Amino acid sequence: MRNDRHLAEALRRKDHSYNVIARKLGMAKSTLSAWFGDRPWSKKVWERLDRTNRDVSHKRARALAESQGAKWEVWREGYRTEARDKFDQLATNPLFIAGLMLYWGEGDSKSPHLVRLTNTDPRMVRLFVRFLIECCKVPREWITASLILYPDLRGERELDFWSRHVEIPLTQFRKSSVIQSRNFRGLHPSKRLEHGICLVTVCSRGLKEQMWVWQTLCYQRLLGLHLRV
* pLDDT tens series, the chain, 229 aa: 567 888 888 888 888 888 888 888 888 888 888 888 888 898 888 888 888 888 887 788 787 777 777 888 888 999 999 999 999 999 999 999 999 999 999 998 888 899 999 999 999 999 999 999 999 999 999 999 999 987 767 778 899 999 999 999 999 999 988 877 655 454 444 445 678 899 999 999 999 999 999 999 999 988 887 656 5
Its pTM surpasses 0.85: no
- Per residue in 143-169, pLDDT (tens digit) is 999 999 877 677 788 999 999 999 999
Q: Which long-range contacts (CB under 8 A, 24 or more apart) does 109-117 make?
A: 111/208, 112/205, 112/208, 113/203, 113/204, 113/205, 113/208, 114/201, 114/202, 114/203, 114/208, 115/201, 115/202, 115/203, 115/204, 115/207, 115/208, 115/211, 116/199, 116/200, 116/201, 116/202, 117/199, 117/200
How is the chain split into domains, by residue range? Answer: 85-223
Reported as a single tens digit per residue, the pLDDT across 166-186 is: 999 999 999 988 877 655 454
pLDDT (0 to 100) of residue 116: 96
pLDDT tens profile 15-33: 888 888 888 888 888 888 8
